[in-house]
Structure 1
Amino acid sequence: MISLSRRLIALAEAGRTGALHVGGTPGGVVYLVAGRITHAESRGCPGIGERLVRCGRLSAAQWQAAYEAGHGARRVGHILLRDGHLGHHELASRVVATITAATHALLLGDDAPMRFVPGERHWFGTVAQADLGNLGPETARRLLARPAPRGPRSVRCRQPSPVPG
């Protein structure tokens, strides 16, 4: 079975657009546009909505309104920008942080089953993009900074709350 990191590299080099669904624990999805990661999510990590609400940048009501207005058209991020809730640079950095955390969690379970769905896009929309090569050093830094896990590999993300995305 091909590893997740090799599969992502192959998709990036081919300039693919779509979603790589990763099974196993914690599992999740990496979304690419023209070979660049535009979003990533994992059941083991808080999503962008939860991150924005938990840190106090948005109220739960503001997040819910943006989610409902933009979910169907895959424009939630653009709604947040349009309505002035966040500036582009701040939102982009928070999206990249979400991508980094989720990708890190998924790479820990590198031998999980995968399925690529061409053309599938994330409901948040494209606010920022990350190259896999730029996530590698951050992932390596996180792996080296934490104590070696005992027993099966574990992910150190908080359990997600019921806040969408």
Structure 2
Amino acid sequence: MTSAAPAVGALRRLLSELGEDWRTGAVEVGGRPGGVLYLVAGRIAYAETPATPTLGERLVASGRVSPAAWNAARAEGRGARLLVRDGLIGPNELALRLVAAIGDATRLLLRSEGAPLRFVPGARHWLGVVVPHRVPGPDLYRRSVTNAPRPRPGRSRSTACGSRP
């Protein structure tokens, strides 16, 4: 067991509990680099840490959104809806870029050693909900397997997927 295991375990346990209880709020992770995971109804709606680029930094650096457009969206507090409404970025591209930002920040926060954790009920990120992600619980794999689409009776798997025998 590494020295990071207790901190990782504590954060994962907290996220699982909050997810199972469908809680909304912010999980503040102290220490270095520190950061925040925002949950909406038990799902991760956004995550940030100073050690990874934010969604805004990614969009501006890629040239998809100008700094002025990003600052306007942030100033209005309508975030993602404004960017999509104004045609600056499509909803699917925004969702994919958001997933990358959430993944990078979450991965780093899960490796925080001995970081103090604090849940702030009701706190929300100004960006709003774009793609909420369910916090994995212990039975996530079992549910994904039992809820997986199955071929219709009387059709082989290859036929159900569109290929010919």
Query: TM bucket by the smaller chain?
Result: 0.7 to 0.9
Map 1:90-105 → 2, pairs under 5 A: 90-105=93-108
Map 1:1-165 → 2, pairs under 5 A: 3-70=10-77, 75-133=78-136
Secondary structure of 1:3's partner?
A: helix
Secondary structure of 2:53's partner?
A: coil
Q: Tell me if structure 2 keeps the 8 A contact 1:4–1:110.
A: no
The aligned amino acid for 2:73 is A
Instruction: In structure 1, list runs of 5 or more residues that go unmatched.
Output: 135-165
Count of matched residue pairs: 131
TM-score (norm 2): 0.74
Identity of aligned pairs, percent? 52
Deviating 4+ runs (over 4 angstroms): none
Instruction: In structure 2, list runs of 5 or more residues that go unmatched.
Output: 1-5, 138-165
Alpha-carbon separation, structure 2, partners of 1:40 and 1:13: 19
Partner residue in 2 for 1:161: none
Larger Rg: 2
Q: Tell me if structure 1 keeps the 8 A contact 2:42–2:135.
A: no
Q: Which moved more, 1:58-67 or 1:82-91?
A: 58-67
TM-score (norm 1): 0.74
Alpha-carbon separation, structure 2, partners of 1:25 and 1:6: 20
Q: Tell me if structure 2 keeps the 8 A contact 1:30–1:40.
A: yes
Secondary structure of 1:133's partner?
A: coil
Partner residue in 2 for 1:151: none
Post-superposition offset of 1:110: 4.8
Post-superposition offset of 1:52: 0.3
